[in-house]
Structure 1
Amino acid sequence: MQYSYYPGCSLEATGMEYDLSARAVAAALGMELAELKGWACCGSSSAHAVNRDLALGLAAHNIALAQEQGRDLLVPCAACYTRLSRADYRLRHEPDERARAEKLAGFSYTGGIQVYSFLEAVREHAGLKEIAGRVQRPLTGLKLACYYGCLLVRPPEVRPFDRAEDPQSLDEVVAALGAEPVSWCYKTTCCGAGLSLTRPSVVGRLVGRLLSAAREAGAHALVTACPLCQNNLEMRRPAAENIPVFYFTELMGLAFGLDDARKWLKKHLVDPFALLQELSLAG
């Protein structure tokens, strides 16, 4: 399995552990990643709100690079995936938008490559059987609230790989690792990451509600596929709240017994090691 890989801005900064764990997990599953040469910011989460041409042009630039590279495009960040997959949808289905994008990015769109989220590729392309077969240290006893956030599976016509209101792909992946996904009603409720700097009081309430709901559902921790959500849930949490928030790729690396798993977890704002040690999962 060969892919073009778009890390995006967050994975080179506050979400670095997501990038490192994604690359390591991909290698373990036989997924060959070739990082896009010359990739640019996708425009999330402000360009689309302030400049229509900039938003389309940035996404089209990266799609053009993947098209030139000749491999389907793999995107770990939910926000980046939203911008790129939505742009690709418009290029496929709206001739006027395709013409604008081609002019802005200076290329001719062929539709020859697909845009996938990293979660989708792991679940659908590698497969649950392959994931379970790689597990060396099952995450037995770890109860997780799977948090998809408001972007990853919406809108359904653009991102049809999972259900928009009650998605299951992340639940299935963590179950294959030996963990227990809990049932809760906040899987796709917004965490407010787009308002993190401008309306922190609003975000604090949203984050507090999510973390409280996860605990009420019996979760030890949350697991996500979005660096904006992960950072927001840890940075904007109530002062007394210390529930860890994992990237799903970190848990895959931990279950696979990958050497660098502990290094990724040390980058978190909420220390996850006390929980892992309590469950004898620290390695």
Structure 2
Amino acid sequence: MMKLAYYPGCSLEETAKEFDSSVRSVCKALDVDLTEIPDWTCCGATSAHATNHRLAVGLPALTIKQIQAMDLDCVVPCSACFNRLKTAEYNMTHDAHVRQEMENLLNFKYDAKPRVYDLLAYMVEKLGLDTIKKKVQKPLKNLKIACYYGCLSVRPAEITGIDNAENPMQMDNLIKTLGATPIQWSYKVECCGAGHSVAKSTMVTNLSGRILAKAREAGADLVVNACPLCQTNLEMRRPPGEDMPVFFFTELMGLAFGLPDATNWCSKHLVDPGKIINAIAAG
């Protein structure tokens, strides 16, 4: 049994509960024991870094203090949360002034040991694709999938540690392991519009609509991603008539593993994923 600290973040507590449920169920199936960080704090996404630098580092630094006290590696499923925590970790590791400021502010001694991991990357690179493959009961065969990484899990590469910021392959390799075919397309790291969904909804609709259109043009049956904000934009801010379903990667893992509660997560989607779920069930 592998033990990890778990930072769900705000979105997985509310608008992306299906992501949280699927993460917990899939990790349990993989014999990964997740311990939620006690009294965790909002990471500051999406606005803190644009308004107050000290707050932008301080909020995730407080969580890093808690992770350090747990003496466990921490996995973060949400791309935005991961980016904020990883940025704080990077700043405290590489900037003595920032480290001293956070230590004084939060009353702790940072040990400079990287402990924050993107859940997708951890599963693929640490847990391993062979381990995941052993759990597959219902391969996602005959499905062509557009792997959509978005912005925050890949950039800036020196902080996120992604394999290739322009053409990342972690999700693609996972999808192959689940039995599906990841398509080749050029929009896997394009921005969906992020936090402008309310203030600039037309812009976000254009960006998200283009992503879905390019996925369809490349032959995809569905889009898979790892970001609650991307999920929201790709479901809510899409052109009229566009019905391509969007999944979190852990939902597809749960369906491929044959987990009994997997179809319940998908009932929370705003775009009906029924055809895809039926296709998987039919084999």
**Matched residues in 2 for 1:18 and 1:64: separation?**
25
For residues 155-201 of structure 1, the C-alpha deviation after alignment (integer angstroms, 9 at most, x for no partner) is 11111232100000000001100011000000100000221111001
**1:105 partner letter:** L
- Paired position in structure 2 for 1:238: 239
Give the corresponding residue for 1:281: 281
Which is further off, 107-116 or 7-16? Answer: 107-116
CA positional deviation for 1:48 = 0.8
Deviation at 1:239, TM superposition (A): 1.6
Structure 1: stretches of 5+ with no match in the other structure = none
For residues 259 and 162 of structure 1, the distance between their equivalents in structure 2, rounded to whole angstroms, comes to 33
Distance 1:196 1:206, change over 3 A: same
Aligned to 2:207: 206
Whole-angstrom distance in 1 between the partners of 2:105 and 2:281: 50
- 2:105 maps to 104
Given that residues 89 and 158 in structure 1 are in contact (C-alpha distance below 8 angstroms), is that contact kept between their aligned partners in structure 2? yes
Amino acid at match of 1:67: Q
Measure, in 1, the Cα distance between the counterparts of 2:181 and 2:12. Answer: 27
What is the correspondence of 1:218-233 to structure 2 with a 5 Å cutoff? 218-233=219-234
Q: What's the TM-score, normalizing by structure 1?
A: 0.97
| Percent of paired sites with the same residue | 51
Matching residue's letter, 2:221: H
Which residue is 2:12 aligned to?
Answer: 11
8 Å contact kept, 1:139–1:281: no
Deviation at 1:108, TM superposition (A): 1.2
SS of 2:4's partner is strand
Does the 8 Å contact 1:234/1:245 carry over to 2? yes
Q: What secondary structure sits across from 2:35 in the alignment?
A: strand
3-state SS of 2:281 partner:
coil
Residue 280 of structure 1 and its aligned partner are, at CA, apart by 4.5
What amino acid sits opposite 2:228 in the alignment? P
2:132 corresponds to which residue? Answer: 131
- For 2:158, the equivalent position in structure 1 comes to 157
Sort the Cα spacing of 1:94 and 1:217 in 2 relative to 1 into closer, same or farther, 3 A: same
Task: Assess if the C-alpha contact under 8 Å between 1:5 and 1:35 holds in 2.
Answer: yes
Distance across 2 between alignment mates of 1:254 and 1:132: 13
Number of the residue aligned with 1:171: 172
Q: TM-score, normalised by structure 2?
A: 0.97
In the alignment, which residue of structure 2 is the partner of 1:38? 39
CA distance in 2 between counterparts of 1:7 and 1:139 reads 27
- Which residue is equivalent to 1:58? 59
Q: Which amino acid is the alignment partner of residue 258 of structure 1?
A: L
Indicate if the aligned counterparts of 1:186 and 1:213 stay in contact, CA closer than 8 A. yes
TM-superposition CA deviations, 1:103-130 (whole Å, max 9, x none): 2222110123411000011101111111
The CA RMSD measured in Å over matched residues stands at 1.1
Matched residue, 1:23: 24
Question: Which residue matches 2:80?
Answer: 79
- Structure 2 residue aligned with 1:259: 260
1:193 corresponds to which residue? 194
| Aligned counterparts of 1:142 and 1:281: Cα–Cα separation in 2 | 12
Cα 1:85–1:113, aligned 2, differ >3 Å: closer, same or farther? same
The one-letter amino acid of 1:155's match is: P
CA distance in 2, matches of 1:4, 1:91: 20
Write the distance in 1 (CA, Å) between the matches of 2:106 and 2:191.
Answer: 32
Q: Give unmatched runs, 5+ long, in structure 2.
A: none
Structure 2 CA distance for aligned equivalents of residues 174 and 15 of structure 1: 21
Q: 1:53 and 1:280, CA in 2 relative to 1: closer, same or farther beyond 3 A?
A: closer
